């Protein structure tokens, strides 16, 4: 299926990955409706930052995935739905687990049911590598067991299984994209890479991080956005769960050292106890097997880690006002 001229809806379009996907879809000729979470300030998140030539091609609507009637109206008349809206911050899921169930599980149910009622041709549901928990073997393929090591990951497992059930029970054309750790411009400081970069660029000589030993598999956001595009266009992806990652792991400590070197600063690292997850909740190792993505949707990453980090450092340097480097962003 070609996305050019297709009527598509992106939930979570105002977010980090969602805004990059929205931008890519417009450039590819899709007719894009961007659902942003309603707020009294009429703030469209990162959609507000897009070039006017892109933004003027997007129909922006406000709503909330937790409210079915609103979502049903948003889905009506669309052909393809990209479902990215979610609560994603792991630390906050310890504080407010019920909100993750309502948004990530019930919100996904509302989107799927609306897609079923309106006969949508393809739904791309967004998962996360956090559903795997600490790797039992590496690299992690799509058959790896799922482990709910945080309320966030448990809510995403629930959402994934609801999506799976709608495909198996109703024949709904759902494909699930499971990105490993995405980074790049527009990412909030609740994630480790912008946390490191914003502290360095704000002039700190000592930066605060949590535990340094866990490993992550990192993908630049433009590669992740392209994976959403590829999975939507590939007919063979329907009913499938597909990992997206670099097939390379790096520890948080080594990552911090790399960013410090690329920034050209002399910085030391201090452990902040508030940033450490409960011991059994910490995901100690993530390393993606991305073979299925290459085989089924023809995707593999184009950005090296160094190239992506340099672009991210440059962007954060120009937009440091978005970050509160002096506090811990949960």
Residue 292 domain-assigned? no
Same domain as 258, residue 140? no
Longest dimension (CA), the chain: 57
The pLDDT value given to residue 274 = 87
d(CA 185, CA 96): 27
Residue 160 and residue 130: Cα distance in Å, rounded? 12
- Do 99 and 139 reside in the same domain of the chain? yes
What does the alpha-carbon distance between residue 27 and residue 16 come to, in Å, rounded to a whole number?
17
Same domain for 204 and 157: no
- 291 inside domain: no
Domain of 275, CATH number, reads 3.90.25.10
- Give the pLDDT band (50/70/90) at residue 329: confident
Q: Does 128 share its domain with 268? A: no
* Domain total of the chain: 2
CB-neighbour burial class of residue 271 (10 A; exposed 0-12, middle 13-18, buried 19+): exposed
33: cis peptide before it, omega within 30°? Answer: no
Query: 136 with 65, same domain?
Result: yes
pLDDT tens digits, residue range 74-123? 999 999 999 999 999 999 999 999 999 999 999 999 999 999 999 999 99
pLDDT class for 330, splitting at 50, 70, 90? Answer: confident
Q: Give, in order, the Cα–Cα distances in Å from 83 to each of 28, 68, 123, 147, 263.
A: 18, 14, 7, 22, 35
For the residues of 75-142, what is the DSSP string, one character each?
HTT-SEEEE------HHHHHH-HHHHIIIIIIHHHHHHHHHHHHT-SEEEEE--GGGG-S-SSSSB-T
On the CB side of 330, CA atoms within 13 Å amount to 12
* Whether 102 and 138 share a structural domain: yes
CATH number for 35: 3.40.50.720
Alpha-carbon separation of residue 207 from 16, 69, 192, 196 (angstroms): 24, 46, 12, 7
Q: What is the pLDDT of residue 296?
A: 98
Note the pLDDT tens digit of each residue in 33-48. Answer: 999 999 999 999 999 9
Residues 106 and 194 in one domain: no
Does 315 fall in a domain?
A: yes
**Residue 312 is assigned to a structural domain of this protein:** yes
Whether the per-residue pLDDT at 50 is higher than 90: the answer is: yes
Structural domain span for residue 121: 7-182+219-244
d(CA 167, CA 98): 26
* Token couple for 150: 């945080």
Same domain, 42 and 21: yes
Q: What is the pLDDT of residues 230-253, one digit of tens each?
A: 999 999 999 999 999 999 999 999
Paired residues of 61 in beta bridges:
35
Q: In terms of domains, do 129 and 63 share one?
A: yes
Question: Would you list the DSSP string of 167-227?
Answer: HHHH---EEEEEE-EEE-TT--TTSHHHHHHHHHHTT-SEEEES-S--EE-EEEHHHHHHH
In a domain, 328, yes or no: no
**158 and 237 share a domain?**
yes
Domain co-membership, 166 together with 277: no
Q: Is position 172 within any domain? A: yes
- With respect to residue 98, please indicate whether it lies within any of the assigned structural domains: yes
Rounded distance between C-alpha atoms, residue 142 and residue 305, angstroms: 23
Is residue 56 in a domain? Answer: yes
């Amino acid at each position: 299926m070609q996305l050019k001229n297709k009527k598509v809806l992106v939930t979570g379009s105002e977010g980090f990955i969602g805004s990059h996907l929205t931008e890519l879809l417009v450039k590819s000729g899709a007719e894009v409706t961007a659902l942003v979470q309603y707020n009294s300030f009429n703030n469209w998140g990162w959609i507000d930052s897009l070039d006017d030539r892109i933004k003027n091609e997007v129909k922006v609507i406000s709503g909330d995935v937790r409210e079915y009637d609103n979502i049903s109206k948003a889905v009506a008349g669309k052909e393809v739905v990209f479902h990215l809206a979610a609560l994603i911050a792991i630390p906050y899921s310890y504080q407010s687990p019920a909100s993750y169930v309502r948004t990530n599980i019930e919100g996904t149910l509302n989107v799927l049911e609306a897609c079923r009622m309106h006969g949508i041709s393809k739904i791309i549901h967004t998962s996360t590598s956090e559903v795997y928990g600490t790797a039992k073997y590496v690299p992690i393929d799509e058959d790896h067991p799922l482990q709910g090591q945080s309320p966030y990951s448990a809510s995403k497992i629930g959402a994934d299984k609801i999506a799976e059930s709608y495909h198996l029970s109703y024949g709904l054309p759902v494909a699930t994209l499971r990105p490993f750790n995405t980074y790049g411009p527009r990412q909030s400081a609740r994630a480790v890479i912008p946390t490191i970069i914003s502290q360095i660029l704000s002039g700190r000589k000592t930066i605060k991080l949590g535990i340094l030993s866990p490993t992550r598999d990192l993908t630049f956001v433009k590669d992740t956005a392209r994976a959403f595009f590829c999975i939507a266009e590939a007919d063979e992806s329907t009913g499938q769960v597909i990992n997206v990652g670099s097939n390379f792991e790096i520890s948080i400590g080594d990552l911090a050292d790399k960013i410090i070197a690329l920034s050209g600063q002399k910085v030391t690292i201090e452990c902040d106890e508030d940033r450490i997850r409960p011991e059994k909740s910490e995901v100690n190792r993530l390393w993606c097997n991305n073979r299925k993505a290459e085989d089924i949707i023809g995707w593999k990453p184009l950005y090296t880690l160094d190239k992506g980090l340099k672009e991210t450092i440059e962007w954060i340097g120009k937009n440091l006002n978005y970050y509160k480097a002096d506090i811990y962003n949960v």
